Homo-oligomer: A and B are copies of this chain.
Amino acid sequence: MSATMRDVKDRTGLSLATISKYLNGGNVLPENRILIEKAIKELNYEVNEIARGLVKNKTKTVGVMVHDIECYFSGKLLHYIGKELRKRGYGMMICDSCNDEELEAENLRFLVNRKVDGIIVLPVSMKGGFLKPAKQDKTPVVLVDRSFQDEEFDCVAIDNKVAAFRAVDLLIRHNHRDIAVIASDVEYTGVERIKGYEDAMRQAGLEIRQEYIKKGRHSSEVGYEKMKELLESPNRPTAVLMGNYDTMLGGVMALNESEFSCPEDISLIGFDSLMFTGVVRPSWYMVVQPMEKMCEKVVELLLKRVEKKLDEAPVKMCFGTTIQEGESIRRIE
């Protein structure tokens, strides 16, 4: 098959140790350096990273598990994380959990068995149990975007509660009183965002009505269904906070099919969907996260753990959000 170090050794008459030294940037005699380089070129030799990984017990690869690779948020995240890892000489092994907890657990074992040096997880689960094999193997794990209810892990995210609070507060300052929310009660971000919604309502002295809190997994289907229910309800709200990007999509679809329009009848604010800026009319108000910064930090934190430069208790990094203005909110006079 392909050439090995042994071939280079034979062709140069040097020893394996010397070749290895050269490959790893050590000092070799100029004449030998030339010899080796010539042999490598002629043989098209390339390091076998598998063999190297075996002895070093390091693969220079980190695993990244996302809850759902199809969603825009994941794509963006993977892009930034990949860029940052590459900058630092690491490769990336991506797994898609397909929003399935079993698959998530399987993927984790997959990565651990392949001896990745560390793992970045955008989890499906709200509980951290599935990470046990990584712990046992002492493979560092850092969470991104979401954390768990039961366990503390290194984590980089935004404060979802505060972000949702601010969004609802904005609606209130536009004189909205009948404000609903469509968000997930089975995903960490959704749960936190609902809390923020409730806080804002409470603080403004507004009644928290259960019929205005629509729960269901973050997805366009749920967004569609729940928005429909809200529109058809006798107490149709004047504004809705959409729990994430997908529910926003679904919600707007329902709205487009209805007799109502945005922002005249319903005001909307959502999360994370920068892609639509300028494409959709009316343009959307949105809560945006500093994704690139977050990804840089997540990688930095993970590699510190990998390289044993950090040995304290779990670190939680919280980023601030901004609200991107749009046309989807009406001021009630």
B57-A54 in contact (CB<8A) = no
Query: Which of B46, B47, B71 lies in contact with A75, CB distance below 8 A?
Result: B71
Contacts of A275 in B (CB 8 A): 249
- Tell me if A313 counts as interface (CB < 8 A to partner B): no
Task: State the oligomeric state as a number of copies.
Answer: 2
The answer to whether residues A2 and B75 also contact, given A46-B112, A48-B115, A50-B50 and a CB cut-off of 8 A, is no
A54-B46 in contact (CB<8A) = no
Query: Which of B2, B113, B253, B257 lies in contact with A49, CB distance below 8 A?
Result: B113
Contacts of A112 in B (CB 8 A): 46
Query: Which of B1, B48, B74 lies in contact with A138, CB distance below 8 A?
Result: B1
B137-A2 in contact (CB<8A) = yes
Query: Which of B48, B82, B113 lies in contact with A113, CB distance below 8 A?
Result: B48
User: Chain B's nearest CB lies how many Å from the CB of A169?
Assistant: 27
Measured CA separation A50–B46 after assembly (Å): 18
A92-B95 in contact (CB<8A) = yes
Residue interface mask A57-88, B partner, CB < 8 A = 1? 10101000000111110111011001100100
Residue interface mask A233-257, B partner, CB < 8 A = 1? 0000000000000000100110011
B96-A136 in contact (CB<8A) = no
**Contact residues of A with B, CB < 8 Å?**
1-2, 44, 46-51, 53-54, 57, 59, 61, 68-72, 74-76, 78-79, 82-83, 86, 91-96, 98, 103, 109-110, 112-115, 133, 136-138, 249, 252-253, 256-257, 275, 278-281
